[in-house]
Chains A and B, each alone.
Chain A
Amino acid sequence: MRAGPMKQTLLSLSNLTKQFGGKTVLDSLDLDIYDGEFITLLGPSGCGKTTLLRLIAGFEQPDCGSISLSGVDLTGTPPEGRPLNTVFQHYALFPHMSVFDNVAYGLKMEKRPPDEIRDRVEEALAMVQLQDYARRKPQQLSGGQQQRVAIARAVVKRPRLLLLDEPLSALDYKLRRTMQVELKRLQRELGITFVFVTHDQEEALSMSDRVVVLKDGVVQQLGTPREVYERPANLFTARFVGETNFFPGNVDAVNDGDIIVDVFGLKRTLRKPDFELHPGQAVHVLLRPEDIRVLEPTDEQGLAGRIVERNYKGSTLDSVIHLDDGTEVLASEFFDEDDPAFDYRLGEPVRVSWVDGWEWLLPEESSNASVGSLTDDV
């Protein structure tokens, strides 16, 4: 993990609350965004991520709480007075202006001299490889090109902070991948802090320095992509980020460094988790599909089951296994060079196990579990 030289807070949100028609969209949210980082707000639709972005941009006013940028309170400042810019979901390019005029708009508002405007616009367009398109109208460009114009228009003012509202959601898969790489490159080159909103967990994991998982206006987890994926703070994060197998477990014994958990009658010695445990307690044993090992039916260890589905994914073979009691298990295995013909028949009996130490334990969901206790321990 790349650790910045120092983590200086750029944008500080405290106790932000917003309601729309009596429905709480953001619930006393606190968040510090560091200077120069790529932070992603991740959550299902309606989780409050777009509202949060609009509050930062100044398009909405919070019901209570405050927003400050480098110590300067921005809460009542209108959008035009905030040193930050937004890339909109559907680009919001001005249809009656050329690409050049679109990018120049922000600089014209600052009343910059024409020479400077021309130089900076050309520089910004070169940065997104659109210098030859300056005279075109936005409608004459493809979706990806429009997206790049929108980015150029937002960064030409050299903002401290760039807000991106699901900017890649309207692009097709391949273009989205290209733009992800491009955005990362721009963020590195410009050194601007990016606040990126998405509902695509894969995008969030691959691009961000830190991820904020939001649900119902409350932060579920804040951490690096690795933390969020490997050590989810609660069942919501575990379900939302990536695919997960949940095995019901029961604590048999608690020792000094490890515990013994009974999973479907299988007793496994596991690492002791951070939360308090006592024998007899029910826990969730979380296993990502790639942690699962599928063994021969003759094997001694593991749980007996049958293959009910197999999906060839190119680099992996994904299978669905039903255990004898009906529990569904997802497994994702890499192809083995020694066995190129590796495959399963449907209905084939197998045994399911996992790599020791790759499991993650969560307590039986108490709905108000101490959120965030597992995070920020980098």
Chain B
Amino acid sequence: MIRWLPRAWLMLIYGLLYVPIAVLVVFSFNDSRSGYTWGGLSLRWYETLFNNHAMVEAMWNSLWLALSAATVSTLIGGLTALALHRYRFRGKRVLNGMLFVVMMSPEIVLAISLLALFLLVGIQLGYVSLLLAHVTFCLPFVVITVMARLSGFDESLPEAARDLGASDFTMTRTVLIPVIMPALLAGWLLGFTLSLDDVVVSTFVSGPTYEILPLRIYSMVRVGLKPEVNALGTLLLVFSLVMLSLSQWILTRSKQ
């Protein structure tokens, strides 16, 4: 009896994790209008989804925003991590701690303060305000991911490069950045996913000119769950699986 217990427990846990996702995928192919009964196999919700221009536009907007937010925060965050790792300067510990404050503080606080700031400075709510906000909350995650990689970094590598005739800049370009590349990629992916599904901060700082997917879905489900949301969810799932496999592939390749 004891023998099958661990296995059953494991199945229960994985069931809890995967059953909702499976239901979503299955019902995205459901021909029935109701979300609760099975009406046969169909691709009609995918068709509806792609005919919904507002939805498709929101999807592209979200992808573009996530892409740019992840890239900007990786650039800034990567450099921040390098600075925190390499140089000794006054206030380093405070700066380090401040990253965690941003990470730990409730999202709603960040959202309200960002909105207040944008209104004060006079930034129009739209793509720019969203980008700034998303970079802000992605940044600490990128910095911490890259710093973790740098802490295990062999300090004699940069010295070896300098010793062989590389200037500080050449060393950074040819040794330091390639070695921490997996961490930069991981940080970028983290930023990308965080940005893609953010609702709280985006609700506050988005404007009517730039609608993004999570908010669009949120407003759709408020008036009743439409089956095309299932189709959208399935597409997003496939997309994240592809991204995940891609990152794993890059990481294992760079390890060889």
Chain A interface residues (CB < 8 Å from chain B): 57-59, 78-80, 85-86, 88-90, 92-96, 105-106, 109-110, 137, 139, 153-154, 157
Contact = CB atoms under 8 A, between A and B. Distances in A.
Given A90-B156, A94-B161, 14 more contacts: A57-B159, A59-B162, A78-B162, A79-B159, A80-B166, A86-B160, A92-B154, A92-B156, A94-B179, A109-B164, A110-B165, A137-B256, A154-B164, A157-B164
Given A90-B154, A95-B179, A96-B179, A157 B165 contact: yes
A105 B178 CA distance: 14
Nearest to A150: B160
A105 B164 contact: yes
Contacts of A109: 164-166, 170
A94 B166 contact: no
Contacts of A79: 159, 162-163
A190 to B, nearest CB: 17
A57 B157 contact: no
Closest 4 CB pairs of A and B: A109-B165, A106-B164, A92-B156, A92-B160
Interface SS of chain B? helix
A57 B165 contact: no
Nearest to A111: B165
Q: Tell me the dominant secondary structure on chain A's binding face.
A: loop
Interface in B208-256: 254, 256
B175 A80 contact: no
Contact of B254 (A57, A92, A96): A96
A88 B160 contact: yes
Contact of A105 (B154, B161, B181, B254): B161
B159 A59 contact: yes
A140 to B, nearest CB: 8
B167 interface: yes
Interface string B135-179: 000000000000000000010110111111111001000110011
B8 to A, nearest CB: 41
Given A80-B167, A109-B170, A94 B162 contact: no
B163 A86 contact: yes
Contacts of A153: 160, 164
Contacts of A57: 159, 163
A137 B157 CA distance: 15
Interface residues of B, number: 20
B42 to A, nearest CB: 49
A371 to B, nearest CB: 32
Contacts of A80: 162-167
B159 A92 contact: yes
Contacts of A92: 154, 156-157, 159-160
A87 to B, nearest CB: 9
A282 to B, nearest CB: 48
Interface in B3-59: none
Contacts of A110: 165
Contact of A94 (B160, B167, B181, B256): B160
A133 to B, nearest CB: 15
Nearest to B160: A92
A107 to B, nearest CB: 9
A95 B178 CA distance: 9
B181 to A, nearest CB: 8
Given A94-B175, A95-B179, A106 B165 contact: yes
A157 to B, nearest CB: 7
11 contacts: A57-B163, A80-B163, A85-B163, A89-B156, A90-B156, A92-B156, A94-B161, A96-B178, A105-B164, A106-B164, A109-B166
Nearest to A140: B256
Nearest to B159: A59
Nearest to A165: B156
Contacts of A137: 256
Contacts of B154: 90, 92
A94 B157 contact: yes
B161 to A, nearest CB: 7
Interface in B89-146: none
A167 to B, nearest CB: 12
Contacts of B160: 86, 88, 92-94, 153
Contacts of B157: 92, 94
A291 to B, nearest CB: 42
Nearest to B162: A79
A80 B166 CA distance: 6
Residue among A58, A95, A157 with the most chain B CB within 10 A? Answer: A95
A290 B11 CA distance: 72
Contacts of A106: 164-165
Nearest to B171: A80
- Which among B156, B163, B170 has the greatest number of chain A C-beta atoms within 10 A? B163
A88 B155 CA distance: 11
Contacts of B175: 94
A80 B169 CA distance: 12
Nearest to B156: A92
A369 to B, nearest CB: 37
B250 to A, nearest CB: 13
Contacts of B181: 96
A105 B166 CA distance: 9
Query: Which residue among A79, A86, A95 has the maximum number of chain B CB atoms within 10 Å of its CB?
Result: A79
